[in-house]
Structure 1
């Protein structure tokens, strides 16, 4: 393919927002549930914009929509936990992403969980890993907020394959135990 042929394939989108979302959705991401406890009540939300940031110090980030009620709960406190979901937890991911879901502690009534060692935020026991964090910083970013967490404790929960999100679909990563 020549440079000109390649350039012919690149075009300006007619509908930037929807086409941006579709283009970005081609990048597979892991799926997590971010949790916190505020005023004695647990809160949680599905987040697929999650990444590790630094090994020294240990930092992670999550990107939260500013219109989310749960995001406001998370951002109003000093700690949170992130559970990386396993391929067996698609219903959990969908439940914590549902805009009309049960709120507060009732949202955890059917999900096995335990308090994170440092923050007490719920860790979903069916996950594959968790990160228990103190809020390091927040950064406004358009219609989202970047939340940086200083990892206090972390650990592996299972050897199950991870749950991935790509092309607006949830699915399992290939099982590394079968390779």
Structure 2
């Protein structure tokens, strides 16, 4: 390697700080494994293709959601509204009890997959895993959208994550 080529080493703290300047929406990803609902907060989510309709989400290989979503092959995304910060916090915490994690949160079973959809979300999608790709310490999970809908939020603003904090993005 010549001295003019970049070395590729970036300090993790600097990497997080730089990417923290990119605002992202907040979603809850859910799936089922052996009849038990699993969920996690995800901000590494985006649309990918219109034809066919594809989205992607990145799942940490070190969390129990990883095995659950790969085992099931079906999953759902709920796009959180501005007043759903406590839901984002709950599903971002590791080590929560699997069987009571949805207690007190309004949900509905997705019409195609049965995966949990969060009541009051701005929108929701149900997906079938289309492909997976290695992404370092994460797996990039590409999903074909099977069904979707617009929610009936009590707060029409979007919950976003920017500079290591949740914020509301008002509905203009």
TM-score w.r.t. structure 2 length?
A: 0.91
Report the structure, 1 or 2, having the larger helix content.
1
Residues in 1 aligned to 2:166 and 2:86: alpha-carbon distance in whole angstroms: 10
2:168 to 153, 172, 175: 172
In the alignment, structure 1 segments of 5+ residues that lack a partner are 1-11
Distance 1:151 1:17, change over 3 A: same
TM-superposed deviation, 1:37: 1.1
In the alignment, structure 2 segments of 5+ residues that lack a partner are 1-6
The match for 1:66 is 61
Q: Which moved more, 1:89-98 or 1:159-168?
A: 159-168
- Aligned with 1:126: secondary structure? coil
Tell me if 1:29 matches 2:2: no
Moved over 3 A (4+): none
Paired positions, count: 164
Structure exhibiting the larger radius of gyration computed from Cα positions: 1
Question: What RMSD in Å do the two structures reach over aligned CA positions?
Answer: 1.7
Q: How does 1:1-179 map to 2 (within 5 A)?
A: 16-104=11-99, 106-158=100-152, 160-176=156-172
TM-score w.r.t. structure 1 length?
A: 0.87
TM-superposed deviation, 1:86: 0.4
Q: Deviations over 1:47-98 (max 9, x none)?
A: 0000000110000000111101112211221100000000010000000001
